[in-house]
């Protein structure tokens, strides 16, 4: 994660599924890209396909 921070990326760590969903809801309106772990993508489930914002990428496991 340190590499992302050094590049100017805002990093939000959420370990548990409820924390992932809370972090998703708290994304600032101008968020353009969210990079997710496979576990975070699983926690968000259908939410990822329901909307058009923001662009999401799931890291390989």
Q: What is the pLDDT of residue 61?
A: 81
- The sign of the dihedral angle between the CA atoms of 20, 41, 53, 51 is negative
Q: What is the pLDDT of residue 49?
A: 85
pLDDT digits 0-9 by tens, 2-54: 777 888 888 888 999 999 999 999 998 889 899 999 999 999 999 888 877 79
| Residues, the chain | 61
Give CA–CA dist 14/50, Å, rounded: 21
Smallest CA-to-CA distance from 1 within 35, 38, 43, 42 is with 35
Give CA–CA dist 50/5, Å, rounded: 29
């Amino acid at each position: 994660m340190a590499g992302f921070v050094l590049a100017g990326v805002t990093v939000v760590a959420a370990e548990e599924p409820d924390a992932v969903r809370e972090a998703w809801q708290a994304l600032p309106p101008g968020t353009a890209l969210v990079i997710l772990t496979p576990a975070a993508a699983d926690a968000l489930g259908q939410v990822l396909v329901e909307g058009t914002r923001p662009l999401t990428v799931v890291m390989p496991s």
